[in-house]
Amino acid sequence: MILPRKFYERDPAIVAKEILGSILVKRDQSILKGKIVETEAYYGLSDPASRAFKGKRDYNKWMWGEAGTLFIYMVHGNWLLNIITEKKDIPSGILIRAVEPIDGIEEMKKRRGVNTKNLTSGPGKLTKAFDITKRHNGTKVYTPASEIFIEKGKMHGEIKTSPRIGVKEDLPHHLRFFIKGNPFVSRQ
């Protein structure tokens, strides 16, 4: 089952938490699959760490788009994968920070050249392993017709929260969510 568009049309902190355990799928040479184990929520104009904070630009216009579409941008030479949340014209989203590789591990290894443990344990690592770049901006993840979509999965274990990682000016509450003890989480 694929998570419906409605699932994303909510507060990003709720979506970030509830999407843990779901499966990121990409149609490639083979099928690539990874379980989402770490996320962060980002708001719009009220969030200094958000890419939407300084207003609409050509590169970030996707944040004003429909819930359940992709927004990808570059930081320090890494593409970072975000899914847009809330209704159209309300900029917000969640950052996928880490996944646990399930299918297509050999193809991921070819791209990354490292062992399984380090394949997708960080936001820039997973986009390289899955070969996701800005050309995927605007992809709808709630339909199996897309190259990239997200399947509902089983959440097991305990969810932990923390402040966001690497953010200069964070908001006072915890907006990072991860599965406690999962070896693919970038930092416990």
Binding site for DNA (CB under 7 A): 40, 42, 49-51, 54, 57-60, 73-78, 80, 82, 93, 95, 112, 114, 118, 122-125, 134, 164-168, 186-188
| Residue 163 to residue 177: CA distance in whole angstroms | 9
In terms of CB distance, is 58 or 106 closer to DNA?
A: 58
| Residue 14 to residue 9: CA distance in whole angstroms | 10
Least distance from DNA to the Cβ atom of residue 1, Å: 25
In terms of CB distance, is 19 or 95 closer to DNA?
A: 95
In terms of CB distance, is 2 or 99 closer to DNA?
A: 99
Task: Please provide residue 22's backbone torsions phi and psi, each rounded to the nearest 5 degrees.
Answer: -75, 170
Least distance from DNA to the Cβ atom of residue 60, Å: 6
* 113 dihedral zone (left: phi>0; alpha: psi -120 to 50; beta): left
Q: Nearest 10 degrees: CA dihedral of 106, 107, 110, 111?
A: -140
Least distance from DNA to the Cβ atom of residue 186, Å: 6
* 186 dihedral zone (left: phi>0; alpha: psi -120 to 50; beta): alpha
Least distance from DNA to the Cβ atom of residue 9, Å: 18
In terms of CB distance, is 112 or 140 closer to DNA?
A: 112
